[in-house]
Amino acid sequence: MNTDTSHTSHTINLAQCFIAVDDHDKALAFYRDALGLEVRKDVSFEGMRWVTVGSPAQPDVEIVLEPPLADPNAPAADRQAAAELLAKGMLRGVNFRTDDVDATFERVRAAGGDVLQEPMDQPYGTRDCAFRDPAGNMLRFSQPRG
């Protein structure tokens, strides 16, 4: 393995992350209306749907709302297993950073967000809160403490 990094440099940035959802219309209402993310793409293919959303403040980062098992060739049993894990809230969501966690919490709660944790100071240096999206994914919103 060549460990000489002096000859070239390149950057690696996050472009997309994926969240499984079981109802794109409910998810879209939550991510667009409650969180204020913009819709960038809405694509259907082979009976499945992908909706891409993102923060206007991060035009190069997207969240793709996808079916629980986004493989048209997946066996029915695997599709059912993925749907059951999603329904139990066992699939990971995403963590967001905000400049005002308390205001974010109030906005999302007022929009009908399912509260998991009210804003609290964490021992690791952030103040955060957590919600479940309509599909059961956990979303955490954190604000660094200064």
pLDDT of residue 98: 95
Contact criterion met (CB below 8 Å) for 138 and 132: yes
Q: Name all domains of the chain by residue range, CATH numbers in brackets.
A: 16-144 (3.10.180.10)
Supply the pTM of this predicted model.
0.82
pLDDT of residue 2: 57
* Mean pLDDT over each residue of the chain, to the nearest integer: 89
Contacts of 95 (CB under 8 A, 6+ apart): 139, 140, 141, 142
Strands (E) located in 2-137:
16-20, 38-45, 48-54, 62-66, 94-97, 114-121, 126-132
Q: And the tokens for 114?
A: 């399912």
Query: Over the Cα atoms of the chain, what is R_g?
Result: 18
pLDDT band with cut points at 50, 70 and 90 for residue 48: confident
pLDDT band with cut points at 50, 70 and 90 for residue 1: low
Rounded Cα distance, 91 and 2, in Å: 37
pLDDT of residue 7: 58
